[in-house]
Amino acid sequence: MTEKLEPVVTEWRRVSPKYVVVDLVGTLVFGVVAVAATSLPAVFSHNGYLFAIPAALAVVFLVALILVPRRVRSIGYQLRQDDLLFRRGLMFQRFVSVPYGRMQLVDINRGPLDRAVGLSELRFVTAAAATGVAIPGLVAADAEELRDQLVALAESRRAGL
Amino acid sequence: MSSGAPRAAEPISTGFRLADGQWHRLHPATPLLRGGIAFVAIVGIVLVNLRDVLIQLVLGGPDFGGDPVQWIVDNGFAASALGVVVLGLLLFTTGFYVSWRMHTFRITDELVEVRSGVLFRTNRRGRLDRIQGVNITRPLLARVFGAAKLEVNVAGHDANVQLSYLGSAAADELRREILLLASGTQSAAGAGAAPALAGQSAGDRARVIIEQRTREFFAPELDPDAAPPESVVQMHLGRLIGSIVLSGFTVVILIVIAAVIVAVSITHEFFFLFTFVPGIIGMGSYYVSKFTRSVRYSIAATPDGVRVGYGLLSTSNETLPPGRIHAVQARQPLLWRPAGWWEVTINRAATSRSSGSERQAQTTILPVGNLADARKVLELVLPGIHAESGELLDRGLTSKGGDDGFVNSPPRAVLLRWFSWRRNGFATSGDLVLLRRGFVRRELVIVPLPRVQSLELRQGPLLRRLRLASVRLHTVSGPVDAYLGALDTADATRFFGETGDAAVRAAAADTSHRWRTSSAAAAAQPPVPGTAAAR
């Protein structure tokens, strides 16, 4: 394996380790539902070969579950001079840089699992739908602080579209 | 019906300014043009049916029976039925009239605002400095009435402020004023070219009106502005037909025809031929609509941006102010290569509610043209192109690749870009980023740096093994995707960092949202917003 992509050499701000729990439970629930749904045809048709589909899915989700802690550790962000840099992914690495002046709004989302462990997700919206930057697993107070900070930054560097 | 017929003296030319901050009404024929037509048609059909009954009542004749109208007449309900009809008509007419009365608009120095609705009031405002384009469309029927629809596109999905309908000349005048106000020159020179109708005899006036109507109908794109813009690209009939015939759509059609012929000759079931009939109808309408839309295509530079005209019967004429184009793509499909034709499409922040072909017309800024045409259009929509970057542009369009100012994929990318790895690369020139890709289907994407929303750098397992990465510039959504894959990791990382910094700088220096102040602000004090618009 050759070296990983690393556009900037700095310390990344990581998300809360508690997010591992949220992601684990979320993946598990999704996996169970998906496996159950895909095994329905096999159950009703009494065709044993059809069980191959849910079995394959189960393996995929199992691998995904094992990788969850590392995947969560791979999520990082950092506030630079002029933009917010966001990264995520292990196998499929993705880096996005969003200039502060481009942020149109900042959302805070809290799902039921997030609320249970006191986390929030911060989502940035620019004029481009493809930007799609969401930082999950922030401690609720941090998320609000970060939001206010980002909104202030965006306001001070406001540019047109 | 009398509901919305235009009166003879409706304002064709505007002696007064529409953009004066006062509330104005729309063209009196508006209800008729906006769907009243259907109502009139229904009434017409009913009347035609009634005529038979009336003839029969007066002259006598065979009684067919079973007809509800006949039944009403036979049972002596004629009077009350007539009353109901008249009442209905009256209600409709008043309804249309009231809705027309309540539908008002105003244009201040800051915004354009429309109020409409009788029971459910809606109020829509668009800020002038966020204008993405001003579009004047003239559907065929509206052209007969000398009316036009003015659409002010504000950034956002379906965020258009629509003024439908206005008098044709008034729409042109209003567009000029809106663009002038939006451009940042606050002193909108009020006196437009307004031929005074007052003080003429009634006969003269009617003649003038008829002449003007005729002129508008035959030359709907004529602008009352001092210098009417000259189209820089001429659409050739043969080229247009050729480009439509040589499209991917035609290839699909040919395959389907071949499949049908084979199926018929094998099975001897001529039934298959009939399955193709709807296909032929659809194909014909596709070709015809594409042809009529593009045949009177024109593009020209005006002081307030690029003006693109489309349409033969229903015309549309759109002005894109500077800095409203978020990404440009020149594309050459394989079938067009022998003829050397190009198509130019753009991304823009405002998307209209209309979908499909009309949407395509809004984003296709050159339906087909040769290399020179494509260059002219690119230079028009991207003011940042200089002589030096012009050469870069040429190489971006036609070069086979190699060491020509572009940073291209390394040879190991041949695994992923079989033919195009020599050509697959990026270059920057001033405020423009050029992404070149495709060997079979040549594509050149140009993104102005001040319009970049965010940047992305990606690498999957396969790319990592090959020490490659891909980059993407995020712009507002549209047909152009500023994506470049299979770059050397180091190149991609450098591109990500440098372009990100350059985009921030360019965005901070950009003043195109008030495009005329950029030249005037140096001399004069910039206008203070909010003082003039106070009401």
Q: Is B458 on the interface with A (CB under 8 A)?
A: yes
Res B430 pLDDT > 90:
no
A101 and B507: CB-CB below 8 Å?
A: yes
Residue B170 confidence (pLDDT): 86
B339, B357 contact by CB (below 8 A): no
Res B448 pLDDT > 70:
yes
Q: Percent of chain A, pLDDT > 90?
A: 49
Dihedral angle computed from the Cα positions of residues B171, B173, B177 and B179, in that order, rounded to the nearest 10 degrees: 60
Exposed, middle or buried, A57 (CB in 10 Å: 0-12/13-18/19+)?
A: middle
Res B193 pLDDT > 70:
no
The tokens describing A102, both together, are: 């481009």
A159, B504 contact by CB (below 8 A): no
B456, A98 contact by CB (below 8 A): no
pLDDT in tens, B100-123: 888 888 888 888 888 888 888 888
More confident residue, B60 or A158: A158
Q: What does the angle CA B389 – CA B391 – CA B397 come to, to the nearest 5 degrees?
A: 105
- Rounded mean pLDDT of B192-201? 43
A20, A72 contact by CB (below 8 A): yes
Which range has the top average pLDDT, A51-60, B86-95, B394-403? A51-60
Dist CA B132 CA B348 (whole Å): 8
Q: Kindly list the residues from chain B whose CB atom is less than 8 angstroms away from the CB atom of residue A88.
A: none
A35, B500 contact by CB (below 8 A): no
Res B438 pLDDT > 50:
yes
CATH of A76-156, one of 3.20.20, 2.60.120, 2.30.29, 3.10.450: 2.30.29
- Taking CA atoms, what residue in A is nearest to B513? A160
SS3 A155: helix
pLDDT in tens, B56-65: 766 665 555 5
pLDDT in tens, B280-308: 888 888 888 888 888 888 898 888 888 88
Dist CA B158 CA B399 (whole Å): 39
More confident residue, B418 or B128: B418
SS3 B223: coil
Res B260 pLDDT > 90:
no
Q: Tell me the nearest-neighbour CA distance from A157 into chain B, angstroms.
A: 7
Dist CA B306 CA B329 (whole Å): 16
Dist CA B342 CA A118 (whole Å): 55
Q: Which range has the worst mean pLDDT, A16-20, B38-42, B168-172, B245-249?
A: B38-42
- Rounded mean pLDDT of B120-129? 84
**Look-up: residue for tokens 């709004």?**
A105
Exposed, middle or buried, B202 (CB in 10 Å: 0-12/13-18/19+)?
A: exposed
Q: Percent of chain B, pLDDT > 70?
A: 79
Q: What is the band of B352 on the pLDDT scale with cuts at 50, 70, 90?
A: low
A101 and B323: CB-CB below 8 Å?
A: no
Which range has the top average pLDDT, B159-173, B267-281, B486-500? B486-500
Residue B8 confidence (pLDDT): 36
* Residue ranges per structural domain of chain A: 16-71, 76-156
Res B311 pLDDT > 60:
yes
Q: What is the DSSP letter of B112?
A: E
From residue B141, how far is each of B83, B136, B138, B416 by CA, in Å?
32, 14, 8, 53
Residue A125 β-bridge partners = A105
- For B268-280, b where at least 16 C-beta lie within 10 A, e where not — what string? eeeebeeebeeee
Dist CA B431 CA B383 (whole Å): 10
From residue B55, how far is each of B47, B51, B52, B68, B163 by CA, in Å?
12, 6, 5, 16, 45
A99 and B454: CB-CB below 8 Å?
A: yes
Q: What is the ipTM of this complex?
A: 0.88
Res A121 pLDDT > 70:
yes
Q: What is the band of B3 on the pLDDT scale with cuts at 50, 70, 90?
A: very low
- Taking CA atoms, what residue in A is nearest to B506? A159
Neighbours of B339 (CB within 10 A): 14
- For A20-42, b where at least 16 C-beta lie within 10 A, e where not — what string? bbbbbebbeeebeeebeebbeeb
Q: Kindly list the residues from chain A whose CB atom is less than 8 angstroms away from the CB atom of residue B349.
A: 127, 161
- Rounded mean pLDDT of B409-424? 91
Res B195 pLDDT > 60:
no
Q: Kindly list the residues from chain A whose CB atom is less than 8 angstroms away from the CB atom of residue B464.
A: 1-2, 4-5, 93
3-state SS of B265-320? Answer: HHHCCCHHHHHCHHHHHHHHHHHHHHHHHHCCCEEEEECCEEEEEECCCCEEEEEE
Q: Kindly list the residues from chain B whose CB atom is less than 8 angstroms away from the CB atom of residue A1.
A: 464-465
Q: What does the angle CA A144 – CA A148 – CA A152 come to, to the nearest 5 degrees?
A: 170
State the distance between the two ends of chain A, measured CA to CA, in whole angstroms. Answer: 41
Residue A30 confidence (pLDDT): 94
Q: What is the band of B16 on the pLDDT scale with cuts at 50, 70, 90?
A: low
Which candidate from A7, A82, A128 shows the least CB-CB separation from B474? A128
B383, B512 contact by CB (below 8 A): no
Residue B126 confidence (pLDDT): 83
B145, B338 contact by CB (below 8 A): no
List, as ranges, residues 246-285 from B with C-beta within 8 Å of A.
none
Q: Which long-range contacts (CB under 8 A, 24 or more apart) does B247-256 make?
A: B247/B333, B247/B335, B248/B333, B248/B335, B249/B283, B249/B286, B251/B335, B253/B279, B253/B283
Q: Tell me the nearest-neighbour CA distance from B251 into chain A, angstroms.
A: 32
More confident residue, B194 or A74: A74
Residue B412 confidence (pLDDT): 92
The average confidence (pLDDT) of chain B is: 79
Dist CA A101 CA A99 (whole Å): 5
The tokens describing A15, both together, are: 């998300």
Res B245 pLDDT > 80:
yes
